[in-house]
Chains A and B, each alone.
Chain A
Amino acid sequence: MEEQNKINNEEKIKEEEKIKELEKKLEEAEKLKNDYLEGWQRERAEFLNFQKEIKKRNEEIIKKANEDIIKDLLTVLDSFDISINSLNVEGLTPTEKNIRRGIELIREQMLNVLEQKGLKEIKSVGEKFNPIYHEALEIIKGEEDDKIAEEIIKGYELNGKVIRPAKVKVIKNNK
């Protein structure tokens, strides 16, 4: 009888050990499963985020490409401004006046297209100098300190971003 009990006990202990072992294995497996699941979820999330990022980046690239072209076109716009100004003299014949008007209209045409894309002229002469919008090329003496006296080259904003500051002469009061 005692012998039997001993055997039973031994078997019980063995079984318990086995259960413990299995429990440990299960725990390990569960931990591993959780690690993998988490890793997979992270990877998945990172991928989805990356997709979003790519979408955003593509939009930015398009925007940037537009900006680059418009920036390059600004020098053409400058040439129009300068040519109109230099034809703004006395004694033009009616034909010459008409040609000047024609150039003015082409400039307007071009500006309209660009304005539809969000281009806006930056105000300068008479304004207070502000480096967000203006770049100082020269200072001239005068009364009203920091006021813009003259605009050398027009500045432009594109959809609220300064793509070229107005290049200006600024008044300095040497008091």
Chain B
Amino acid sequence: MSKILGIDLGTTNSAMAIIEAGQPKIIENKEGIRTTPSIAAIAKNGELLVGVLAKRQSVTNAQNTIFSIKRLIGRKFTDSEVQRDKKWLPYELRESANGGVEVKMGEKWYRPEEISAMILQKLKTDAEEKLGEKIDEAIITVPAYFDDSQRQATKNAGEIAGFKVKRILNEPTAAALAYGLNKKTNERIIVYDFGGGTFDISILEVSEDTIEVIATGGDTHLGGDDFDQRIIAYLVDEFKKLEGIDLSKDLLALQRLKEAAEKAKHELSTVLETDINLPFITSDANGPKHFEMKLSRAKLEELVKDYIDHSIELVKQTLAEKNLKISDINEIIMVGGQTRMPAIQEAVKKFFGKEPHKGINPDEVVAMGAAVEGGVLQGEVRDVLLLDVTPLSLGIETLGGVFTKIIEKNTTIPVSKSQIFSTAADNQTSVEIHVLQGEREMAADNKTLGRFILDGIPPAFRGIPQIEVTFDIDANGILKVTAKDKASGKEQSIRIEASTGLSKEDIERMKKEAELHLEEDRKKRELIEIKNQAENTIYLAEKTSREAGDKITPEERKEIEDKISDLKEVSKGEDASQIKNKMEDLSLAISKIGAKMYQSNQNNNSNDTQPNSSSEKSDDNNSQDAEFKE
């Protein structure tokens, strides 16, 4: 079945998304950009340009370049909004036969829906090219305050573009869908949408099966672009104060400042201060001048404070119109690129006393939500196979009481995973497999699901036997754990039926506990791992010293023995760094002896290229560091 394209047809920029493998995904346009300027133009040669190409030529062709068409679509020519916009829009407007608006592009007059259709047509073509399939159906979003005529005109635009418009969706509703808030019931959601050129507030009410818009507000001529202008003006002013030169008259300098201002604005969302360095910005009789300035987040916030305050004021008004109190609002969603600014997030959070939803790219959340709606529509006809996930991690206990995960939480089942382990002592002939479930680092803090013993392992040095442990969960959630000794082929297994039988509360509690003890658990585990390493080093040292026989002097033997007992002593304690130090000391001493023995071996029989017997086995590279306790 062909996909439904979700389209956020914006005033300045548009975006599109589809559902892929159950998740919404933004589709880039032909130019490889995730948003497309909502601009159409007719070049002098009669060619139609849409998107970024239309934008690039707009200066040379201002009268035939149509932007902000969304401000006009579905409106009457006599609307006060239209009359207001007519004053600053550089292209020609006139009243159509039926009282609507027409704009002039090239030699012809067009209805706004025809211009919107050109933008939609480009999105359609680009999406089809990207996806390699035809797309006939679309969901197009509109502001919540759009009236029937504006909605109808937008739908017409989609149909002129060749789409079957499945639905005209409210932008705030789309945002709520993208965050999955449609599943909540009896909640009020406020959507705070600060875009490039418009600021919209919508209040939604979610009930059993509908999302209803109960109030709207905002300012159709306030946006992130105003912020950029403020910063540029400030930078120009500062330079004027410092050097007495007006950069606003210098096209090159102004371009560089514009880019720098945008970059600084973005950077200040994550850092507290940024450097604006523009070498050789201009020059005078005294030679070249550089633009060097630090811009702090605090300064930026001061520059645009009135805009932010104004937006909060508008939120208050919108609430007041419906007699809503702050406490009536359950969720807040932030939409539009400008809401990345920490000061805006802070102001909204402070006003509502609640953390707003963020996480989805605010420039893309509306298009994503439109795609989600498309997915919902298609979901009604498509048979979806629902697969479970393991709510908690599953694994076994290894040396030192550590919990080693084999299957991580949130893995989709059915699934099968295995890992190779080994023994912890020489001539160990059996291992105990202790199967656990949970998120804590130490075995003792997790839930035991079962245990069994695999015996009959042929005697060998520690670390040599390869024991493969396999966890298999079938579609019904039944866990089967198998341990197999690769050398003898002996195997043993256990079936655990209730691996997913925990209650929701139990699972939540276990996850919470893990989070709570995260740091302390990590430290504990690190300490045990270092102790395990220390033990391994001691084992190696003793073995080396034994095998070295008379090839080392009594002093050297004494040194090793002293260091071994030092390490043994500190290993009893809890100081990881001390253990590490002593361990390094001992390792150094062994490697010295190793080198000496290697040399004497070479002298004795220079043909023998066998590695020194005390060097680490190289064929157990693929076996796990963690070993079973005896």
Q: Contact partner of B60 among A85, A87, A136, A167, CB < 8 A?
A: A136
Q: A86 and B283: CB pair below 8 A?
A: yes
Q: Contact partner of A134 among B21, B56, B255, B279, CB < 8 A?
A: B56
CB B437 to nearest CB in A, in angstroms, measures: 27
Contact of A138 with B by CB under 8 A: yes
Q: A82 and B279: CB pair below 8 A?
A: yes
Given contacts A83-B288, A86-B288, contact A131 B280 (CB under 8 A): no
CB A66 to nearest CB in B, in angstroms, measures: 13
Residues 67-90 of chain A: 1 if any B CB is under 8 Å from the residue's CB, otherwise 0? 000000001001100110111000
Contact of B32 with A by CB under 8 A: yes
CB A166 to nearest CB in B, in angstroms, measures: 10
Given contacts A43-B385, A50-B21, A161-B32, contact A82 B56 (CB under 8 A): no
Q: Contact partner of B256 among A78, A162, A165, A170, CB < 8 A?
A: A78
Residues 244-282 of chain B: 1 if any A CB is under 8 Å from the residue's CB, otherwise 0? 000000011001100110000000000000000011100
Q: Contact partner of B53 among A39, A78, A132, CB < 8 A?
A: A132
Contact of B338 with A by CB under 8 A: no
**Residues of A32-58 contacting chain B, CB below 8 A:** 39, 43, 46, 50
Q: B49 and A131: CB pair below 8 A?
A: yes
CB B356 to nearest CB in A, in angstroms, measures: 28
In the complex, which residues of chain B have a beta carbon less than 8 angstroms from the beta carbon of A83? 279-280, 288
Contact of B57 with A by CB under 8 A: yes
Q: A137 and B251: CB pair below 8 A?
A: yes
In the complex, which residues of chain B have a beta carbon less than 8 angstroms from the beta carbon of A87? 288
Q: B255 and A152: CB pair below 8 A?
A: yes
Q: Contact partner of A152 among B53, B252, B279, B385, CB < 8 A?
A: B252
Q: B288 and A136: CB pair below 8 A?
A: no
In the complex, which residues of chain B have a beta carbon less than 8 angstroms from the beta carbon of A136? 56-60
In the complex, which residues of chain A have a beta carbon less than 8 angstroms from the beta carbon of B280? 79, 82-83, 85-86
Given contacts A131-B54, A132-B53, A152-B252, contact A146 B60 (CB under 8 A): yes
Contact of A104 with B by CB under 8 A: no
Contact of A122 with B by CB under 8 A: no
Contact of B84 with A by CB under 8 A: no
Q: A129 and B57: CB pair below 8 A?
A: yes
In the complex, which residues of chain A have a beta carbon less than 8 angstroms from the beta carbon of B283? 86
Q: B59 and A138: CB pair below 8 A?
A: yes
Q: A139 and B32: CB pair below 8 A?
A: no
Q: B255 and A167: CB pair below 8 A?
A: yes
Which of chain B's residues has its CB closest to A133's CB?
Answer: B56
Which of chain B's residues has its CB closest to A46's CB?
Answer: B21
Contact of B44 with A by CB under 8 A: yes
CB B615 to nearest CB in A, in angstroms, measures: 38
Given contacts A79-B280, A83-B280, A129-B60, contact A146 B44 (CB under 8 A): yes
Contact of A135 with B by CB under 8 A: yes
In the complex, which residues of chain B have a beta carbon less than 8 angstroms from the beta carbon of A78? 256
In the complex, which residues of chain B have a beta carbon less than 8 angstroms from the beta carbon of A169? 251
Which of chain A's residues has its CB closest to B61's CB?
Answer: A136
Residues 210-225 of chain B: 1 if any A CB is under 8 Å from the residue's CB, otherwise 0? 0000000000000000
Q: A153 and B252: CB pair below 8 A?
A: yes
Contact of A120 with B by CB under 8 A: no
In the complex, which residues of chain B have a beta carbon less than 8 angstroms from the beta carbon of A161? 32
Measured in the bound complex, the distance between the Cα atoms of B255 and A162 in whole Å is 18
CB B561 to nearest CB in A, in angstroms, measures: 53
In the complex, which residues of chain B have a beta carbon less than 8 angstroms from the beta carbon of A79? 278-280
CB A156 to nearest CB in B, in angstroms, measures: 14
Measured in the bound complex, the distance between the Cα atoms of B288 and A30 in whole Å is 85
**Residues of B274-301 contacting chain A, CB below 8 A:** 278-280, 283, 288
Measured in the bound complex, the distance between the Cα atoms of B252 and A86 in whole Å is 13
Q: Contact partner of B385 among A39, A50, A172, CB < 8 A?
A: A39
Q: 20 A-B pairs, CB-CB below 8 angstroms?
A: A46-B21, A75-B256, A79-B279, A83-B279, A86-B288, A131-B43, A131-B49, A134-B56, A135-B56, A135-B57, A136-B57, A136-B58, A139-B59, A139-B60, A146-B44, A152-B255, A153-B256, A162-B31, A165-B56, A167-B255
Binding site for A on B (CB under 8 A): 21, 31-32, 43-44, 49, 53-60, 251-252, 255-256, 259-260, 278-280, 283, 288, 385
